[in-house]
Structure 1
Amino acid sequence: MDVIDTSPATPAASHVGTADPIAVARLRAERRRGLRRTLLRSLGNAGITLLVLLLLWQAIVSLTGISPYIAKGPLDVWTFLVTAPKAEANRAQMFPLVGQTLLDAWIGFVVGMIVAIVLAIAFSLSKAIEAGVMPLVLLLRTIPLVSIAPVIILVTGRGTPASVAVIGTVVVLFPALANVLFGLSRASQQSLDVVHVFGGGRFTALRKVNLPGALPSVFAAARVSVPGAVTGALLAEWLSTGTGIGGSILKFNAQAQFAQLWTSIALITLITLVLYNLVQIVENIVLARMGMAAGR
């Protein structure tokens, strides 16, 4: 017959039962405070960068002696978009162009990051694949993109999403691949040995150890790839689609629409800065939740 112990809990047991929730709550509060600090630091860095860019922009316009008809400063762009009598029409002209460029940049960013991660995993699993494919990646990196863009457009078609994706991927691929490969190579040897001791193979070690440990490098690759994706989108629009900011800059210059030209540059620069810091904020949140340092 089972005997049920109805005696009161000992002080030690009671202390253990109440200490764990308190410790967990303290740990969560500390993580929230750390996350707030990193977010505030990211926003502060973005604000400082934006301020420096605005000051440099205004200094270049004011001190180089360029005609005000051609050179437009931050206040001119603000007037064009916000306070001018035709500001609403100006926004209606510029914002769809920016939206198209963002869509093209998103295509290049996603495809480039996926290809980079897949190649990095394949290189980690097989040295033969790395020896065969890496020279092609280096070749794409070495040859100026403007030189091979006509071939890309000929194969994928002028003005097609495929041409945008390929051109964006070529710009994004190499720096993203280098970062992800670096992260995969930094796995703890002790952790890899534990996986092998318990009978795990190379793929298991990659899934259990290498990939989780490479997350900071994957986010670093994403941050580096954001400006590259925007550059690739502008280049694809200029050479292939003729849409978006990249396709309109030459038209603005040829038609002496310098307010639109400077506004295009300002909006793309601002959006690139915002996207870069957005990726950084997501990185801080994810790594904090996983108990990993963001590395800054």
Structure 2
Amino acid sequence: MLLLAALWYAFLAVFPEVSLVGKSPGQVWGYLVTGPTAETAREAILADLRITLRDAAIGFGAGMCAALLVAALFVSVPAAAQTFMPVAMLLRSVPLVALTPIIVLIFGRGLTGVTVMTAIVVFFPALVMIMTGLRSAPRQAMELVAAYGGSRWTALRMVAVPAALPSVFAAARISVPGALIGALLGEWLGSGTGLGASLIRAIPTFQYNRLWASIVVVTLVSVFVYAVVGVLENLVLARFAPKAGQD
């Protein structure tokens, strides 16, 4: 954080022509904490932040659950992966901004549309990482389950999923910032609520203090949630990874 603050100050010093638009960490601190209107500013930003966090959480959950289910299907049924994985990669190459009008037309401008846009951002990277984790399951353990009459789904549940836990949490860590970005984009282009919409409204109305303060707040929240996922990963892997290794 100190390095980021130093780079922030250095950028404003090297490019003084952006002083009208660019705000320093001290100015953001004054706007949010010590200024005469700090309480009002915090309440406005936090109100928008709550909407964005709700949108990001729902989209993150939907995207991760879909990635888990589809990855399990693709690993268990190779024909499905060969058929639909190229289609998924093709869709992934299409910019979300280009898909937004279609998503808004189908799902509307409310929470559902934002959830779909956020889930798309989360889904594709998580799918690839989770599939890699499921395919890394020990072959001997998978064959042992089959030898005792277990189905492919039983082997997946008992062996592959525990072995894929590191990949699942790695996908979750990567997807957390992506979910916030997807929620901001969905709010900007779709619902018109939350921080995504307020960031865009702040530019033409010259509310640059609010703009920078909102960016700082959402960045700090993203870093915090990323760290929380890392802590959960350590706790879960400490509980299940040794057991998976014994199996």
- What band does the TM-score fall into relative to the shorter chain? over 0.9
Work out which of the residue numbers 170, 180, 202 in structure 2 matches 1:230.
180
Matching of residue 84 in structure 1 with residue 35 in structure 2: yes
Correspondence for 1:193: 143
Partner AA of 2:126 in structure 1: A
Q: Which residue of the partner structure matches residue 100 of structure 2?
A: 149
Residue aligning to 1:54: 5
Match of 2:62 among 108, 111, 117: 111
Q: Distance in 1 between matches of 2:181 and 2:47?
A: 18
d(CA) in 1 for partners of 2:74, 2:201: 44
Q: 1:94 aligns with which of 19, 41, 45?
A: 45
Query: Does the 8 Å CA contact 1:168/1:236 hold for their aligned counterparts?
Result: yes
**2:16 aligns to what SS in structure 1?**
coil
- Equivalent runs, 1:270-281 vs 2, <5 Å: 270-281=220-231
Give the Å deviation of 1:259. 0.1
1:184 pairs, out of 113, 116, 134, with 134
Any stretches of 5+ residues in structure 1 without a counterpart?
Answer: 1-49
How is 1:1-296 mapped onto 2 (pairs within 5 angstroms)? 50-158=1-109, 160-292=110-242
Amino acid at match of 1:255: T
The one-letter code of the counterpart of 1:277 is A
CA-to-aligned-CA distance 1:236-256 (integer Å, 9 cap, x gap): 001001111110112101000
Say if 1:140 and 1:170, in contact at 8 Å, map to a contact too.
no
Count of aligned positions: 243
| Residues in 2 aligned to 1:243 and 1:197: alpha-carbon distance in whole angstroms | 55
**3-state SS, counterpart of residue 21 of structure 2:** coil
Give the corresponding residue for 1:9: none
Structure 2 residue runs of 5 or longer lacking an equivalent are none
**Contact map agreement 1:80 1:259 (CA 8 A) in 2:** yes
Tell me how far apart the structure 2 counterparts of residues 278 and 167 of structure 1 sit (CA, whole Å).
Answer: 24
Instruction: Kindly name which structure, 1 or 2, has the bigger radius of gyration based on alpha carbons.
Output: 1
Identical amino acids, percent of aligned pairs: 44
Per-residue CA deviations over 1:56-114 (Å, capped at 9, x if unaligned) read 22221222113433211111111111101111111111110111111111111111001
Asked if structure 2 preserves the Cα contact closer than 8 Å seen for 1:182 and 1:217, the reply is yes
- Between the aligned partners of 2:143 and 2:3, the Cα distance in structure 1 is 49
CA deviation digits over 1:118-152, x for unaligned, max 9?
00001011122212321231122111111111001
